[in-house]
Structures are given as C-alpha cells and as structure tokens.
Amino acid sequence: MKLIIDKEKHLVIKNNEEFSLPKKEFMILDLLCSVPGNVYSRKAIYDKVWRRKSKSNERTVDVHIFNLRKKFGSEVIRTIKGVGYKCTCE
C-alpha cells in the first residue's frame, strides 16, 4: 500500500483519496512513514511529536494511532507488542 504525504498541503493521499488530518495525527503518520518498517515506542512518538518528555501521557499516542487506523486501516500501522508501532506503507 502506498501513502503519499504532502507536507506543503498537509494532506495524505491513499488510493487517489485525499485525507486532511489533524496536526498531531499528521505528525505521527509522517514520523512513522519517514523510515518505513522502523519501530517507534510510544515514548519516542510522544517525545518527537509533542516535543517534550512524556510523563504519563504516552497513552495519548494510542488514541491518535486508533484514529489513524480508522482512516487508513490496520494494515498501515502495526503494533509490535511490547515495543511500539511501525508503518508498513511504502
């Protein structure tokens, strides 16, 4: 599956359908797809997207991942149990 992330227009294109995402969802997807297959922990995602050290807000990442999966399907973002998340897009 191929996702096109257009940072200038703040759009994601999947199968010729355009998606306008909230800022944090866009940033998470962009991070995960920046190195497809690379696994990011909740803490790493939180630290990079919110640009501050997490305390107990790492579950916030789960909510955003859930919303991204609703939009793009669970095949795009995979959970690596006990480790974190990775993107399977090209």
* Adjacent-strand bridge partners of 3: 14
Mean residue pLDDT across the chain: 89
Model's pTM, two decimal places?
0.90
**What span, in angstroms and rounded, lies between the C-alpha atoms of 26 and 64?**
10
The predicted pLDDT at position 83 comes to: 94
Residue 1 has pLDDT above 70, yes or no: no
CA distances from 70 to 6, 21, 34, 64 (A): 20, 12, 21, 10
What's the pLDDT tens digit per position in 44-87? Answer: 999 899 887 666 566 889 999 999 999 998 888 999 999 999 99
CA torsion sign for 45, 50, 54, 59 is negative
The predicted pLDDT at position 36 comes to: 79
